[in-house]
Amino acid sequence: MLKEGAMKAVEASVNNSVVDPLKWHRRLPKLNWRGGFAVGAFLIAWHFLVLLKAPGFKEISSPVEVLQTFINQYLGNPNYWNSWVASFKRVIYGFVLAQVLGIPLGLLLGTRDTFHKLVYPVIEILRPIPPLAWVPISILFWPTTELSIIFITFIGAFFIIVINVHDAVRNIKKEHYWLALSLGASSGQVFRRIMVPSVIPSIAVGMTLGIAVTWNVVIAAEMIASDSGLGRLTWEGYVSHTVPVVIIGMISIGLAGYLSTIVVDYAEKKMMPWRTTR
């Protein structure tokens, strides 16, 4: 909401030089205090619910307890940070592979009719299968657990990006395409300068959805099949009945997802300079 309000104010002025300071000035301080307030209120509410032993909160640790456990046992613990690295590696491999294979496949499906007729039904059958349903087959197929987790993560983002790019190619404005033909562009030029840029916004949407799904899938897959990663950490906390660890795991996953979203958002802005310079 805030973002939108600021964007509209910015749109009103065409002058570019005014845009940036204005945006920062408006967005940062406001977001900080409201957001900070909400996080603080959440922590306080949580703390008191635990203190008062509210229904359901009997076995939950308080935020103070969680923080103590974190500082004493995890902050300086290389195993904890290795969990971060393990999960991030899987997400990055799965996500990047999904983009690298999914974008060209989506473009091909959208532009080549015969290819579309041949391949699209297969995709439509495989797409509804939830990534986690791939776990057993994946473990049987791939030689290592690591590879099977990466594969499952890849599946999570792959179909999303394929479908997004495919739809975008099919919905290119005919005027954009025709104009290029009128001006004498070759089919290669049309592909590079018209098709590809016009699907970039959909690639961005695919990336935003893809990174979220990738984190979902990687955590679940780690709980089921792995002996490392943030998902595993959380699960072990549960199995060993150490509740603060479960919560540390959850918050770490939340932060990791948030960090990835920031990186993806940044990449998207770089991909679409015409969307951000308004």
Residue numbers of the site for another protein (CB under 8 A)? 14, 16, 173-176, 178-186, 189, 193-194, 197-198, 200, 272-275, 277-278
Question: Nearest approach, Cβ of 28 to another protein (angstroms)?
Answer: 24
128 close to 71: Cβ distance less than 8 angstroms: no
| Nearest residue (CB) to another protein, 10 versus 253 | 10
Backbone phi, then psi, for 130, in 5-degree steps? -60, 145
Question: Nearest approach, Cβ of 1 to another protein (angstroms)?
Answer: 22
What single string gives the DSSP state of each residue in 124-159? HHHTTS-GGGGHHHHHHHSSSHHHHHHHHHHHHHHH
Question: Nearest approach, Cβ of 181 to another protein (angstroms)?
Answer: 4
| Nearest residue (CB) to another protein, 123 versus 172 | 172
| Nearest residue (CB) to another protein, 199 versus 256 | 199
3 close to 31: Cβ distance less than 8 angstroms: no
Question: Nearest approach, Cβ of 14 to another protein (angstroms)?
Answer: 6
Instruction: Give Cα separations from 41 to 33, 48, 59, 71, 144 (angstroms).
Output: 12, 11, 21, 22, 44
| Nearest residue (CB) to another protein, 149 versus 180 | 180
| Nearest residue (CB) to another protein, 12 versus 125 | 12
Question: Nearest approach, Cβ of 11 to another protein (angstroms)?
Answer: 9
State whether residue 241 is helix, strand or coil.
coil
Instruction: Give Cα separations from 235 to 2, 38, 212, 219 (angstroms).
Output: 37, 28, 20, 10
